[in-house]
Structure 1
Amino acid sequence: MPEADRPSCRLCGCAELTGVLDLGASPPCESFLAETELDSPELTHPLHLRLCPNCFLAQLPPLIDPAETFTEYAYFSSFSHSWLKHAETFVTTAVDRLGLTGSAFVVEVASNDGYLLRNVVERGLRCLGIEPSVNVGAAAREKGVPTLTAFLDAGAGAAVRREHGPADLVVANNVYAHIPDVLGFTRGLRELVADDGWVSIEVQHLASLIELTQYDTIYHEHFQYYTVATAQRALATAGLAVVDVEKLPTHGGSIRLWARPEAAAGEPSERMRAVLAEERAAGLHDLSGYRDFAARVEEVRLALLEFLIAAKRRGERVVGYGAPGKGNTLLNHCGIRPDLLPYTVDRNPYKHGRYTPGTRIPVSAPERIAQDRPDYVLVLPWNLRAELTAQLGYIAEWGGRLVFPIPRLEIVTPEREVN
């Protein structure tokens, strides 16, 4: 590879990145196809996770333009009941923790369809969503959530501050991994937040991804993957200090970082020190913790393919549940196509009648499962296991079973899982 084309660390600039996992090439995970596009070629990009040996940020090269992906977006947060409850609980606890009153100002970056800020509106607090996707931002405004259509950078953050004043709380849930310009985005956070304010960031924890072989969450929209240590380094570039961290079960294992401008930060909490110690013990602050990851990923791939092929040979039918971005990484890496998985279903009507990128598996409405009564349902959004096990309990009526591919292949009867 020519020197000019060699990827370098987007956080520290180190030019020698270490390969962790190469998943080949696949299309962007949310680029679902209309039926009229099935005879057209698809653009694919390499999906190669690398680690910086200097600052230890895990990252992908910026091969896609977020403006192309997020201007018209297929993901709406409000279709997950458990995620709506998670957002409601966060707002309740944040308002109490920070003592937010009627004069407070809350900003959410990547506010999607207003799933979180609607709880802020209900409490009578002033708020603003910053959402780059035109279609989901419009859905938020229809719910009464003030929403600005924009990508956050230092300029956009400063403009919001000039017009609305500094924010007492800036929320950035499941977006800090989605931006290639991590330095510019972080400066935008600092522009938004008051000098004595708070920034709350939720992001998948790299420790969970590695430990539980959650490799399907590696896709082109995720440009980097954080430990608490690397998030500290990234936020410090704009004068923000992490003072506390919570470990969350969402997305298979996430962290909620609480940060403040350095002058107001104070000492880090004991639980933050504890999580940093856990990361260090797992070898995530050096190269040692990543060495066997690719081999474990291959075991996940082989186990799923062996199951699907054996089921087909027995004449049993396997269909999918969900069409999440992570599912498309799994399907493309494993080479699963309609011969092994004739369709999947999803609650989001935006995806109905479309086809998964790369693998071209049709997406139907959830009611199709009850009509077809398949032998197995492969659950692609495995991170919603409890919610979906309850929703799909009815398949036990005809002896149907659920298949969870990650962290290891598991086949369960729904009624047993619920009890």
Structure 2
Amino acid sequence: MKHCRLCGSSSLASVVDLGATPPCELFLTTERLDEPEPTYPLHLRVCTSCWLAQLPPLIRPEDTFTEYAYFSSYATSWVEHARRFADDALDRLNPGFVVEVASNDGYLLQHVVARGVRCLGVEPSANVGQAAIDKGVPTRTAFLDPATGAAIRAEHGPADLVVANNVYAHVPDITGFTQGLRALVADDGWVSIEVQHLLTLMELNQYDTIYHEHFQYYTVASAQRALASGGLALVDVELLPTHGGSIRLWARPVEVAGGTPSRAVADVLDREKGAGLEEIGGYSEFGERVAKVRRDLLRFLIDAAEAGKTVVGYGAPGKGNTLLNHCGVRADLLAYTVDRNPYKHGRFTPGSRIPILPPGKIAEDRPDYVLVLPWNLRDELIEQLSYVREWGGRLVFPIPSLEVAP
């Protein structure tokens, strides 16, 4: 990677090098276990000109999202988060037409449909989009770019509210995607974007959220620059607990945005500067903190195996595959993992090739430890897995530091 994808600078500095791994959502079928898996470098760098943290664009979005393994609705707390957002936004903005980009299986727009508000989902994965259509959510299969945005606007009219949750990191052409958002939104409309916050990623060692389908990681400062590149101005920001720490960016077309952004924007910008995220020194110790997570998890798994204890996993999220591959975990240390998504049952995690089974397997086998891979759903999963305590089993959380729950 020679140049920053946002500003074009060649001043890129290493943040952390996680080696080479397969794409995190390409789960293997039994038939593919004897076939080679392509791996790609997973090396996060930061541009010292605009401070956008980024991965090289080694994999095209079309390779990942044409058929996708992630269905948002299997995360109960995420669906509830979406419902609260939808209700608040509809009450406050009273939009006549809502468009969500990367609308997945209708996890959010189903709440808009229930309120009787006209809406449209734009989802690149046909298999996931079909699940939304089956719920009654109008959905168009497409990747967003300026032409797609203009075509949708011409057919359906401008959107009063455009939502883009957990997609702004997934697009290598930031400016083109932002121009697509601008094409969708009405000249006096609103754009709401949720994306993981680089500040909490760094502070809480959330390095497992670094994977190939995430092309960049935003601070509010770098997101503000990215939005401006496509004709949108940041006007407000909210700090959210989702995905271990996210930002909700509120933007409007530059023509109507007005003057200075909200006080919340200024406050977060000050926090980011205070954490050193606009100077190279702020990134210097991250690699060692990542290495400690790896050492601690491996030590726990090896000690458990030598003591004759059984350890299985819960969840098969993309972030889990970064963790398992970086740590070199295989089925001798983690017998299997389970997941609520039937799409993944009978498949194997990429690289580590750990079997993925239905959740009922845990109660059947009564393991000593359950390694929770979607740690961002901690509260939800502590409740869902409370039955593990019935036989003295314990939950293990690897991030931000190893914790064996009582």
TM range, normalised to the smaller chain?
Answer: over 0.9
1:284 aligns with 2:296: no
Pick the aligned partner of 1:80 from 75, 78, 96: 75
Residue 381 in structure 1 maps to residue 374 in structure 2: yes
Q: Give the structure 2 partner of residue 3 of structure 1.
A: none
Shift of the alpha carbon at 1:260? 0.3
1:404 Cα deviation after fit: 0.2
In the alignment, is residue 90 of structure 1 matched against residue 82 of structure 2? Answer: no
Structure 1: gaps (5+ residues): 1-5, 414-419
Aligned partners of 2:97 and 2:278: how far apart in 1?
36
Q: Mind listing any 5+ residue stretches in structure 2 that lack a counterpart? A: none
Give distance in 2, aligned partners of 1:393 and 1:140.
31
Q: Post-superposition shift, 1:99?
A: 2.9
C-alpha separation in 2, matches of 1:277 and 1:262: 23
TM-superposition CA deviations, 1:311-337 (whole Å, max 9, x none)? 011000100000000000000000000
2:207 to 215, 221, 235: 215
Q: Distance in 2 between matches of 1:50 and 1:282?
A: 17
The whole-number CA distance in structure 1 between the counterparts of 2:278 and 2:156 is: 40
1:231 is the counterpart of 2:226:
no
SS of residue matched to 1:264: coil
Aligned residues: 405
**Structure-2 residue corresponding to 1:141:** 133
Q: CA deviation at 1:265?
A: 1.0
Give the distance between the partners of 1:123 and 1:67, measured in 2 at CA.
33
Amino acid at match of 2:114: E
Match of 2:298 in 1: 305
Aligned to 1:264: 256
Question: Partner of 1:29 in structure 2?
Answer: 24
Match 1:322 to one of 308, 315, 318: 315
**Distance in 2, Cα, partners of 1:288 & 1:160:** 44
1:106-149, Cα deviation, whole Å (9 max, x unpaired) = 00000000110011111111100000001001111111100000
State the one-letter code of the partner of 1:364.
Answer: L
1:157 partner amino acid = G
- Following TM superposition, by how much is the alpha carbon of 1:272 offset from its aligned partner in structure 2, in angstroms? 1.2
| RMSD, matched Cα | 0.7
1:68 Cα deviation from its structure 2 partner: 1.4
1:273 maps to what in 2? 266
- The percent identity for this pair of structures is 70
In 2: Cα distance, 1:39 partner to 1:99 partner? 54
What SS class does the counterpart of residue 263 from structure 1 fall into?
coil
2:274 aligned partner, one-letter code:
A
Matched, 1:66 2:58: no
| 1:15 aligns to 2:10 (yes or no) | yes
CA distances 1:232-286 after superposition (whole Å, capped 9, x unpaired): 0000011211010000000000000000011211231111111111001001122
1:187 to 179, 189, 192: 179
2:16 is aligned with what amino acid? Answer: L
What CA distance in whole angstroms lies between the structure 1 residues aligned with 2:72 and 2:232? 28
Q: TM-score, normalization: structure 2?
A: 0.99
8 Å Cα contact 2:178-2:231 kept in structure 1: no
Distance 2:363 2:167 in 1: 35
Structure 2 match to 1:176: 168
- Please tell me whether the aligned partners of residues 48 and 278 of structure 2 are also in contact (alpha carbons under 8 angstroms): no
Aligned equivalent of 1:355: 348
The one of 101, 104, 120 aligned to 2:112: 120
Is the partner of 2:255 in helix, strand or coil? helix
Deviations 1:64-100 (A, max 9, x none): 0111110110000000110110000000111122133
**CA–CA distance in structure 2, aligned partners of residues 384 and 375 of structure 1:** 21
What SS class does the counterpart of residue 338 from structure 1 fall into? Answer: coil
1:334-353 alignment runs, 5 A limit: 334-353=327-346
| Letter paired with 1:176 | Y
- Once residues 271 and 98 of structure 1 are traced to their aligned partners in structure 2, the CA distance between those partners, rounded to angstroms, is 19
Residue 199 of structure 1 corresponds to which residue in structure 2? 191
Partner Cα separation in structure 1 for residue 267 and residue 46 of structure 2: 23
Aligned partners of 2:369 and 2:393 also within 8 Å: yes
Give the Cα separation in 1 of the matches to 2:170 and 2:231. Answer: 21
Cα drift, residue 289 of structure 1 = 1.3
TM-score (normalised: structure 1): 0.96
Partners of 2:394 and 2:383 lie apart in 1 by: 13
1:158 counterpart residue number: 150
Amino acid of the residue matched to residue 150 of structure 1? A
Deviation of the 1:7 alpha carbon: 2.7
4+ residue segments displaced more than 4 Å: none
**Distance between the aligned counterparts of 1:62 and 1:339, measured in 2?**
33
- What is the CA deviation profile of residues 382-413 of structure 1, one whole-angstrom value per residue up to 9, with x for unaligned ones? 00000000000001010000000000000013
Distance 2:376 2:277 in 1: 22
Report 1:96-107 matches (<5 A): 96-100=91-95, 104-107=96-99
Which whole-Å CA distance do the structure 1 matches of 2:47 and 2:171 have between them? 17
